[in-house]
Every structure is written in structure tokens, then in C-alpha cells.
Chain A
């Protein structure tokens, strides 16, 4: 009996998580377009629903009813596989991400995480690495020069930025003496990691921008020079998959930034419910992502590589060494 209840709870949590992650891109696209509009003194979507609130729904219907076009020269199997490969990992990663300690519903304690892995951080980085394959396969399978160029860039970009990103979080792991995200947040109950690890946060954030392929590092889909980059040939629902994946990763980077460096659900000064604190912090980072997108131009490809290898990597290594020395 207990086993059934526990299993049911896990299934319910996973279902809820998937539902939230699938639905969240709707308000996020709306927000992105609104913020973009107002930063450019426009209004953004205004016609569908109150202040365009239903615009994402209209977009969704449009994408679902569009023709699902596969180019004649494309590798059909990989072409169909790529969007799924891009979509699945960001969802899987959230299994290891805690959203709070626990809440009591009807007298039973329900934990706000699906699993408490002791190597959660490693799991996150390992699984999110798979997402790159979606982008690479997508670009390769389409058999279009723009798509291939986009995915080649992604390849190089992902490899060069995953390394400093991985190094940047080592400082956090050293402070918390654990790789479990739950332990990391608990270790920040008094002082957030950002105080001890500003450099680590900087490297993590910049690498996170690059990992989620957002401006100023969105070379994989640079509209100006590559059409639409790796998803040039995608249409309809498959294109929507890539879009949802992009938003899920943006969300994941924000969530990780909050958990690793900004104390997770630990609040300061104002006593709010922990979950609300968490959501507020994540929302702030999502806003920062959007804000960056409509402020900065795109870096050139060689600049991207130079930043990755000549600035972020040494910085993250120095950060590890200094943290280690301070520990001793």
C-alpha cells in the first residue's frame, strides 16, 4: 500500500512537472514579446485577448495546423529525431531539481522535488549535454547549408562553454561539501553563495547564456547571417518543439543560477513562503535573460571562442584555486 502511494505521488509529481514545463512557454513568449515591444517603444501583441494575452494560444494553434514540411534531401530519421532529442533532456533534468523543502497537504508531508540525488549537479550537466545532439542532428539532417553552419557553431560553442560552466560550479560544491542540489541550498541558509562566489556566478551566468543559446551568444540561430540557423528547415510542430526546448533551457539556467548562487528558496528580510521566494528569483532571472536579449548585439564567432577559452576558463580555474586556498 505504501509503495503504491509513493509511486502514485511520484507519477503525479512528474505529470505536474511536465504539464508546467509544457505550458510555461506560453506566458514566457508573451512576456518576451511584451518586454521586447516596450523596450523598443512598441506595444507588443495587443489584438488577441486583453493586451494580447491569448496571442501564445493563437501562435500554438497556428504552429499545430501548419504543414509539417520535410525537405526532399533531408535524412528523414534524424530529421524527426532531432526535435525530440532537443525537447526531452530539459524535461528530464527537472527531475533532479528541487523547488523547495516540503509542504504538508492533508497532514502528509509532500516533498517539493521528484528525487533527491546525491549527484544531482552531475546529473544535470550530463543530461543537458544531450540536448546539443538535437541541435546538431537537426542542423545536419536538414541538408541545408545554413542549418549545418548553425549546428557546427553550436557544437563548438557548447563544448567551449560547458567546461567553464562545469568549473564554475565546483566552487559551490566545495562550499556545500555536496553535489546534491538540496544540500547546496541548505548550505546557503545564512549566506548566499553569491557573496563567496561572485566570480563563479559571473562565469556560470555567461556560460549559461551561451548554453541556452540566447543573445549575445545565439550564434546557432543568428537570424542575420544564417536564416534561422539549425532550425531553418523546420516547420509546424517540430519547430514548436525546438522553441519549447529553448524556453525550458532558459528556465533551467535561471533555476540553476538561483539554486547554486542565490540561496534557492531561502528568503532575505521579507518573510515570504519559500516557494514564492523561489519563483520570484527565477522570474527575475528569466526577465534578465529577456532584457539581455533586447539590449545586446550578437558576439562574433571568434569573439565567442575567445571569451570562452581566454576569459571564462582562466577565471573559473582561478576561482577554484582561490576557493580551495581559502578553505585550507
Chain B
């Protein structure tokens, strides 16, 4: 009985375009919800989470010596063969990389090098703005890698930013933590 009623109800609704009206109401509602657009790079910028895999960086130990022992495990595990390590031995007999180059143009940011490293020397940090006009500039050497920013402590927010194109494309922001981008996502 109720199912038959249901079905007539559906047919009556169909005859008066209830489904189309529903769709129109939905889009109308969406029109007044907040846009989720992040106005990168000149107004807003996203801060990466601490788990984010961005540009690599090499770590130093407590004495300021480079942690890497040039075992070349990262070069071996890298699916893109984009790491090149040439070791040397210093006066104390410790191995260190004489040359440590990552070709960022080929890297797929899988993070395997970070997992493989026995000395906890390499990791993928928070920097994600390193586009370049030449793929040659994307081959990053040891000293540059030592200076790259590390993992973010907090993140996931959107902060207001200002674009500075004087020296490369730079996004400047002073805020430590912005609004949570997910707050604008409708879940209905």
C-alpha cells in the first residue's frame, strides 16, 4: 500500500518536475556558500602540513657536521635515479659526500630516499615553491640542500600572503597559522 503510494508520489513529483526543482534549489544554495578558491599567490598561500613531502633537505648533526654517510642507499632506492652521491673520507676516517646532487626535475617526491636513509640524513621538507625556467637549475647540490627549510612544525592553514617577484617568485607572509581551508567545504 505505502509502496504504491510512494510510487504515485514519485510520479506526481515527476510530472511537476520535482527533481529539476531540487537541482535548482541545490545550485541556488551553493551560490551563497563560501567559495573554496585559495587566491594563491598574491593574496593567500597554503602552509604545508608537517607530513608534507616538498623540497629535500640534508641534515647536520650536533657538531654541525653533515649527517650523510654517503652510503648511496638513497641513490639506489630512488625510482627515478635522480640522486648522485660521490663519497670521500675525511681526516677522522668518516665517510661523507663530496658531491650530493638531486635532480628535482626528475624527482617524483615519493619519499623513499627519506625512508631508506640509515643515518636519518635526508628528508623532504616544506618548501614547494621552486619552479624554474630551466631544468638545469633544478639540479640541486649538497650545500644548497643543507640550507633548505626543514619539516613544518604546524600547518594545513591558509594565510594571507603578498607576492614579491623581485628575486624569483616569492610569497611573503608573516602569519604563523591561517584559517583551515577545509572549513569552507560543504558536506551535504
Residues of B within 8 A of A292 (CB): 24
User: Are the C-beta atoms of A43 and B31 separated by less than 8 Å?
Assistant: no
**B-contact bits for A273-292, CB 8 A (1 contact / 0 none):** 00000000000000000011
- How far is B24's CA from A35's CA once the two chains are assembled, in angstroms? 13
B34-42, B83-91, B159-167, B173-181: which lies at the interface = B34-42
User: Are the C-beta atoms of B35 and A37 separated by less than 8 Å?
Assistant: yes
Asked if A76 lies at the interface with its beta carbon under 8 angstroms from chain B, I say no
Asked if B98 lies at the interface with its beta carbon under 8 angstroms from chain A, I say no
Residues of B within 8 A of A41 (CB): 30, 33-37, 184, 186
- Tell me the nearest residue of chain A to B42, going by C-beta: A47
- How far is B30's CA from A291's CA once the two chains are assembled, in angstroms? 11
Asked if B182 lies at the interface with its beta carbon under 8 angstroms from chain A, I say no
Say which size band chain A's interface belongs to: 10 to 19
User: Are the C-beta atoms of B33 and A295 separated by less than 8 Å?
Assistant: no
**B-contact bits for A293-305, CB 8 A (1 contact / 0 none):** 0111000000000
Residues of A within 8 A of B34 (CB): 41
Minimum Cβ distance to chain B for residue A271 (Å): 28
- Tell me the nearest residue of chain A to B17, going by C-beta: A202
User: Are the C-beta atoms of B27 and A294 separated by less than 8 Å?
Assistant: yes
- Tell me the nearest residue of chain A to B26, going by C-beta: A295
Asked if A177 lies at the interface with its beta carbon under 8 angstroms from chain B, I say no
- How far is B27's CA from A46's CA once the two chains are assembled, in angstroms? 21
User: Are the C-beta atoms of A295 and B23 separated by less than 8 Å?
Assistant: yes
Excluding A41-B37, A46-B39, 12 further A-B contacts by CB distance (< 8 Å) are A38-B30, A38-B35, A39-B27, A42-B35, A42-B37, A43-B35, A291-B27, A292-B24, A294-B27, A295-B23, A295-B27, A296-B20
**Contacts A/B (CB < 8 Å), 21 sampled:** A37-B35, A38-B35, A39-B31, A40-B30, A41-B33, A41-B35, A41-B37, A41-B184, A42-B36, A43-B37, A46-B37, A46-B39, A291-B24, A291-B27, A291-B28, A292-B24, A295-B20, A295-B24, A295-B27, A296-B20, A296-B23
